[in-house]
Structure 1
Amino acid sequence: MNIDNNEITTLDELKQFLIQVESGVLGLQNVGGVALATSNSDGRPFVAVLSEQHQLLLGRWVSKEVYDNGKDMVRFGVNNKH
């Protein structure tokens, strides 16, 4: 999997990551969406940036707290008012 070793441990870090994805600063092409998921091999949670064809473009590990509490932020996106 294309998951980098950085771990997002706070909701603010998740927000900043989502802003980077949405703004295009990470240079990812054909982004279709973002989802929270768990690794099939060990159950570790991560945030997945998916292509329009639902392929993993980039993943970043997240803490259990972020996985449990960041679902709405991932589902509905972020804006500068959060």
Structure 2
Amino acid sequence: MAPRAKLIVVMAFSRSDEGELVPAFEAMQFEVEDRAIRTARDLAGKHVGVIAWAREAQPDIGEYGPPTVLFQSGDVPDME
């Protein structure tokens, strides 16, 4: 059985000219939750929405656990 990894991601969002939420840049991955939360807090004042989340992952077999929100500010799309 492959070891489980933790996927930790920060995403920031802007609004398009049509008012839709769009990613401000590519998702950033982190090794530790604390660093992701600090980065998300720093970005919160600069974008309409920011989210940091984590999930257990076994990417080699395509299995991902449910996402857990670590930090959220402003407008972000619903997590799928």
Q: Say which structure is richer in helix.
A: 1
Q: Say which structure is richer in strand.
A: 2
TM-score by length of 2: 0.32
TM-score by length of 1: 0.31
Q: Which structure exhibits the higher relative contact order, with contacts defined as CA atoms closer than 8 Å and separated by 6 or more residues?
A: 1
